[in-house]
Amino acid sequence: MISFDEAQKIVLSHTIKTIPSTIPLLESIGNFYSDTIVADRNYPPFNRAAVDGIAFYWDGTSPIRESYQLAGTVFAGEIWNTEIKDFQCLRIMTGAPVPKQLNVLIRVEDIIAANNQISFKEDLTFSLMQNIAREGEDLTKGTEVLQKGTRIATQHISTLASLGYGFVPSFEFLTATILRTGNEITEPVNKEVASWQIRDSNSYTIRTLLKDYPVSFHVRTAKDTLEALIEQIEEGKKSDLLIVTGGVSAGDADYVPEALVKCGFTCHFHKAKIRPGKPIWFGTHRNGCVAFGLPGNPFSVQVGVKVFIEPFIRASFGNTEKTFCTKTITHERAKKISFDEFIVANENENGIVIKKHNGSGDISALLSSTGMVQHKAEVENLSAGDAVYFYPWIKMD
C-alpha cells in the first residue's frame, strides 16, 4: 500500500488547468491572484495632511517667523494651485494635499489666529514634514504588492481597493460534482427518518471545508449499485472535479472503484496508509476530470478534503503554501498503527489538545474542535511538547 507522502505527491502531480479571469473585488476573496498586484500610483498619492493644521515653508534652520499671513484653505478633494509666498501660510484639512512647496504643518490646536495672521503657542517644536504623510512613504508606484498565486485574503481587500483593483486578476471557478452514495443516505431536510437511514452530512462538510475557494459545487446521489453509480459518474465526470463519498472500500457493496474505471477513469492509487481514510481512491479521466473516492465516514471525508483535495485545489491555482502549521501538543500519544494518523484536536493557550473520540464515525467530537493533528507514520510515540502538524478548520472570527 502507498504511503501518505507518496499519495499526496501523486495527487499534486495531476492538477487541473485553471483559467485566469477578473472578478469583482468583494467576490474575489478566497480566489487566487492570476497576476502580480502592482501599485499604480504612489501611496499616499500626495503629501497628505495628517491633522487639521497650518502649513508653511521653512528652510529648516532660520528662526520661525512671528506670524504668517493666511492665504487660504485646502479641503480634502482640492488642490492649491496658486503661488504661496514665504510669509504666507495655508490652512489644510486632514486628508487634503499639502502643496509641494510647504513642508511644515502645525496642528490647529497649537496656533493663535488674529486678523488673518497666524502665530504659534509658546514652546512649540518645529521639524520639517511634521504632521505630513509624504507622497509614496507607504508604497511607491510600481511596487509589487502581492504575488501571483497568493490566496486573496480579507486583509488584502482594503489595499486592493486603494490601488484601483475594483476587479481583481484571479480565476474562473472550477466545477465540482459531489456524488454521495449509499442506500442508507437521505437529505438532512427530512425530519422523518427510518431507523436504518443516515442523513447526508458529507456533501455539506465538503462544501463547508472548501467554502470561499473558487469552486462551484453540484450534488448528486446514487444507490449502491453498479448501474446507478455509472449513470451518475457519467454526468459527474463533465465537471473538473468529481468527489465520490462512500462505497470505495473492498466490501461487497463497494462498486465505486469499478464504476469509475468502467466510466473511463484511470486509477492512480487505491488505498493509502492513512487513518482514517485508508480506502481512498484517486484517478483521472482523459477528458481532464480528476476523481477522488473517499470512504463515507464523516471524519474520513474531512481528512480526505483537508490533506488531499484542498492542497490539490490550491496547487491547481498555482498556490503551494502549506495548509497546516507546526504546533506543540500538550499530551503524549502512543502510535496505534504505522500509518499517518489524523486526530481531532483543539488549540488552546498551552498548545494542541487531542480530543478523545469514538473513531471515524463520530459526529460530536468535531463540534468543539478547532482542527486536526497529523501523527506521522515514521514518528513512533508523541510526547508532550513535541511538534506536530495542525490543520485548522476555517475560522470565521
User: What residues numbered 69-98 form the site for a copy of itself, per CB under 8 A?
Assistant: 73, 75-79, 91, 93-97
Distances (CA, A) of 256 to 117, 213, 284, 287, 392: 87, 26, 14, 19, 30
Residue among 210 and 233 whose Cβ is closer to a copy of itself: 210
Q: How far are the Cα atoms of 2, 133, 173, 298 from residue 290, in angstroms, in the given order? A: 19, 52, 15, 22
**Of 60-68, 207-215, 266-274, 282-290: span binding a copy of itself (CB under 8 A):** 207-215
Nearer to a copy of itself, 115 or 154 (CB): 154
DSSP letters of 104-117? EEEEGGGEEEETTE
* CA–CA distance, 118 with 109 (Å, rounded to integer): 12
Does the footprint of a copy of itself cover residue 8 (CB under 8 A)? Answer: no
Does 36 sit near a copy of itself (CB under 8 A)? no
By the rule CB under 8 A, 128 interacts with a copy of itself: no
Instruction: State yes or no: residue 167 binds a copy of itself (CB under 8 A).
Output: yes
Cis bond upstream, residue 392 (ω within 30): no
Cα separation, 98 vs 78, whole angstroms:
10
Angstrom distance (rounded) from CA 247 to CA 168: 41
Task: State yes or no: residue 225 binds a copy of itself (CB under 8 A).
Answer: no
Binding mask of the shown chain, residues 258 to 287, with x at each position contacting a copy of itself by CB under 8 A: ------------------------------
> Does 207 help bind a copy of itself (rule: CB under 8 A)?
yes
Interacting stretch for a copy of itself, rule CB under 8 A, among 165-173, 228-236, 264-272, 331-339?
A: 165-173
Give the residue from 206, 240, 121 showing the smallest Cα distance to 394.
206
Residue 17 binds a copy of itself (CB under 8 A): no
CA 396 to chain centre: 11
Could you tell me which stretch among 3-11, 200-208, 333-341, 378-386 binds a copy of itself (CB under 8 A)? 200-208
| Nearest-angstrom CA–CA distance, 89 and 104 | 10
Q: How far apart are CA 299 and CA 46, in angstroms?
A: 55
When the beta carbons of 41 and 148 are compared against a copy of itself, the nearer one is: 41
CB of 88 to a copy of itself, least distance (A): 19
DSSP3 helix / strand / coil % (the chain, rounded to 5):
20, 30, 50
> Please, which residue, 4 or 165, has the CB nearer to a copy of itself?
165
Q: Does 113 bind a copy of itself (CB under 8 A)?
A: no
Q: Is 361 in the site for a copy of itself (CB under 8 A)?
A: yes
Pick the binder of a copy of itself from 163, 256, 280, 294 (CB under 8 A).
Answer: 163
Rule CB under 8 A: say whether 245 interacts with a copy of itself: no
Q: What type of residue is 116?
A: N
Among 99, 257, 298, 351, binds a copy of itself (CB under 8 A): 298
